[in-house]
Structure 1
Amino acid sequence: MFVCAGCGTELTAPVSRVALPDHTHYGAWEELHPPLMDPATYAVEPLPTGPPWRLWGDVGEDLAAEQGVYLPQYSVSFGSRDRIVIAPGDSRGMALILEKCEGYCMGIDGRDGPNLACEGCGRPVATRMDDCGLWQTVWLEPDAVRRVPSGLPAVPVPDWDELDLRTCAVAPVELDGSRSRRWEAAVPVALAHLVVACEGRPVELPGPLAGLVGDTVADYLPAGPPVLTARLAGPGRPVPPSGTGEVLLVPRHPVTGEPWRPPHGTAPVVPLDIGVWAHLVLPAETSPRPATGTLPEGVLRDDYVVPPHRWRGFYPHDRAFSDTLAHLPDIRRPELRAYYDRYSGPGPY
């Protein structure tokens, strides 16, 4: 758990560290979102986030690179590094600082910096964010809190072969028929890594992913006939042979955040949200209902629910792509200059 660094007041329930979700900073405009984090978990954002912000023209390339930004942006964050994010329901012992609760229209967006104070000493310790377009979060300031043992047994980190992929999988369509906001952020994040891994060369997406989002993400990829092939690889799948002309889309571990690595071979790997990856690689379920005939007398029906009907297309989150690309140091390599020149104006970002 985390406590106030000033007076020791408990500020969170017992929480265990997991990987920072790919969709952390990318929600849908004019929509209220659920909590970003699962209960009893926390994650750490290593990059600077939040205010103060400085315009790119006032910062320059060298100073921006020190902040982890390698392509021109409208503004660059000079906020804290290593901020800790938890679900709002896991917060304890904090009260809102009312004069710092500005937002756009539906909640608080954190524009004024920390808006939660420790109830023990009044020190600003965290920022609540829940406005439209934002996943509901509480961000603890790293210098204002400290981590202490909760007294509960540590949660072991599962090996790759211990993960239950079916519980990890996230469907691309929600139960109400809307597209998954997690997919719409996670896919362009992976595409940014894919562009860099392919060094700007055209690449063909694997069949399952191409079938779901291929047409809508085509403009994000380098133009021209494919010279590389992306394929899905990871735990429980055949080990890909060592060779050239392939790049591997692999899952990020849900706890460590590290991408799966093949036991041998030199093919580049591209991390993909494990929820998206698991949905792509798991076999489709088939209904247990009999194809013909009727159920025996006295047997209750237990049908699968009707699959949701998609009521709108897949819209990749443009800023998820552009932000991820801008935070990858290799985007400055000469091999990627042609791609950058093509997309630095009007385009996917």
Structure 2
Amino acid sequence: MTLPIHLSGTYWETLHPPLLEAGTYAVDPEPYGPPWRPWGEIGAQEAAARGVFAPIGTLSDGPSDTVLLAPGDMRDTGLIAERPEGYCMGINGSGGPNLACLSCGLPVGSRIDDCGQWQVVRLLPQAVVRLPGPPERLVMDWAELPADGVLWHGLSEYRDIPAGVALAHVVVAAGGGPVEVAPGPVAELLGLALAALLPSGEGAKRLDLAGPGLGEPAAALVLVPVHPQTGEVWRPSGGAIAVPVEAPLWAELAFPPHRTRLPVVGGLPAGVERDDPLPPHPQLPFRPSRDAFRYTLARMPAVREPWLRAIYDRGC
């Protein structure tokens, strides 16, 4: 499957669920693990060659293309007793690979389950050999996605992370100009953040939802899903700019459960009161993840433009 977008953010001192579903894997093209080098030592030119275009704290000089698996899918490996590095609730491989092959004893990767990190196993690329296996799941057509359970695995409290990623793409697509956000779920998700980051005034580009099962509204910018299996971005047929959104979050916006599961016609009999709970309402306005927003901007070449670098430096 494609590398999950929500890998770009976490919650500190919080235990996270597994990053991937059982029976799936993904490849992370970015270097991961020690040694770590500070930004001042690397410099802008080398960082840009590695796909990072704005200052961040440190960059990894570890291996690229680590293979990610759900921890429960691992077999015939054991923890290296001399590598117990972690913060407080688990291990994180910060000192190097902490998993070894039970047969030969060679390090093969790291199990990560500490607080503030997604639970995952990262296998060293040189330790992985691809062998024939059962047929992989067929790639779904776009038309199949809205009805497929893969979109409904529940972002719950983590939805602010893919929202921060989407916010970064919207800001870049807007080119520093004002954005008019379509009322409803899109405004609830990004309206306040965009109003704080971008100017207001005439010539605003309208932002709305588009995708399979929705069609294409009259908007200059459209939030569209990223295919969960291939990483492909749904493309509008008109001239709108496609802004990628992680598929589960897009489905949540496009087909909100609490707004689409009510009866279309009819009502309760006279004198009968509804006893199912009302949709939950948050105590505070929703805010996209600042960390995911900055993580995404740092990896977009446009962040080198002065207006966008100013936004990056102050966060969201």
For Structure 1 versus Structure 2, the TM-score category normalised by the shorter chain is 0.7 to 0.9
Q: Could you give the per-residue CA deviations for residues 105-158 of structure 1, whole angstroms, max 9, x where no partner exists? A: 1111221121111111111111111111111111111122121112x2231111
Task: Measure, in 2, the Cα distance between the counterparts of 1:221 and 1:78.
Answer: 33
In the other structure, the counterpart of 1:158 is 140
Task: Measure, in 2, the Cα distance between the counterparts of 1:285 and 1:166.
Answer: 16
Task: Measure, in 2, the Cα distance between the counterparts of 1:166 and 1:280.
Answer: 15
Unaligned runs of 5+ in 1: 1-17, 175-179, 296-302
TM-score by length of 2: 0.88
Task: Measure, in 1, the Cα distance between the counterparts of 2:253 and 2:166.
Answer: 14
Q: Secondary structure at the match of 1:60?
A: helix
Residue from 228, 231, 246 that aligns with 1:254: 228
1:230 aligns to 2:227 (yes or no):
no
In the other structure, the counterpart of 2:178 is 202
How far 1:208 sits from its partner (Å)?
2.8
Task: Measure, in 1, the Cα distance between the counterparts of 2:241 and 2:61.
Answer: 32
Task: Measure, in 1, the Cα distance between the counterparts of 2:22 and 2:46.
Answer: 37
Task: Measure, in 2, the Cα distance between the counterparts of 1:197 and 1:95.
Answer: 46
Alignment check: 8 A CA contact 2:66 2:125 kept: yes
How far 1:287 sits from its partner (Å)?
4.3
Alignment check: 8 A CA contact 2:92 2:112 kept: yes
Task: Measure, in 2, the Cα distance between the counterparts of 1:287 and 1:201.
Answer: 38
Question: How many residues are paired up?
Answer: 309
In the other structure, the counterpart of 2:298 is 326
Task: Measure, in 2, the Cα distance between the counterparts of 1:266 and 1:128.
Answer: 45
How far 1:328 sits from its partner (Å)?
1.1
In the other structure, the counterpart of 1:15 is none
Alignment check: 8 A CA contact 2:220 2:239 kept: no
Residue from 277, 299, 314 that aligns with 2:286: 314
1:292–1:211 CA distance, 2 compared to 1 (3 A) = farther
Task: Measure, in 1, the Cα distance between the counterparts of 2:165 and 2:312.
Answer: 17
Give the counterpart letter for 1:81 in structure 2: S
Could you tell me the percent identity over the aligned residues? 43
In the other structure, the counterpart of 1:110 is 93
In the other structure, the counterpart of 2:193 is 217
Task: Measure, in 2, the Cα distance between the counterparts of 1:325 and 1:96.
Answer: 36
Task: Measure, in 2, the Cα distance between the counterparts of 1:165 and 1:105.
Answer: 40
1:215–1:159 CA distance, 2 compared to 1 (3 A) = closer
Q: Secondary structure at the match of 1:98?
A: coil
Q: Secondary structure at the match of 1:125?
A: strand
Q: Secondary structure at the match of 1:277?
A: helix
In the other structure, the counterpart of 2:306 is 337
In the other structure, the counterpart of 1:121 is 104
Give the counterpart letter for 1:249 in structure 2: L
Q: Secondary structure at the match of 1:117?
A: strand
In the other structure, the counterpart of 2:243 is 270
1:347 aligns to 2:301 (yes or no):
no
Alignment check: 8 A CA contact 2:186 2:253 kept: no
How far 1:272 sits from its partner (Å)?
0.3
How far 1:77 sits from its partner (Å)?
1.9
Task: Measure, in 2, the Cα distance between the counterparts of 1:58 and 1:21.
Answer: 30
For residues 162-173 of structure 1, what are the structure 2 equivalents within 5 Å? Answer: 162-165=144-147, 167=149, 168-169=151-152
Q: CA RMSD in A?
A: 2.6
How far 1:68 sits from its partner (Å)?
1.1
Unaligned runs of 5+ in 2: none
In the other structure, the counterpart of 1:300 is none
Give the counterpart letter for 2:182 in structure 1: P
TM-score by length of 1: 0.80
Give the counterpart letter for 2:22 in structure 1: P
Q: Could you give the per-residue CA deviations for residues 265-299 of structure 1, whole angstroms, max 9, x where no partner exists? A: 3322110011111111116234469512589xxxx
1:72–1:99 CA distance, 2 compared to 1 (3 A) = same
Alignment check: 8 A CA contact 2:210 2:216 kept: yes
Give the counterpart letter for 1:260 in structure 2: W
1:304–1:125 CA distance, 2 compared to 1 (3 A) = farther
In the other structure, the counterpart of 1:3 is none
Q: Could you give the per-residue CA deviations for residues 21-46 of structure 1, whole angstroms, max 9, x where no partner exists? A: 11114221111111111111111112
Give the counterpart letter for 2:140 in structure 1: P
1:50–1:205 CA distance, 2 compared to 1 (3 A) = farther
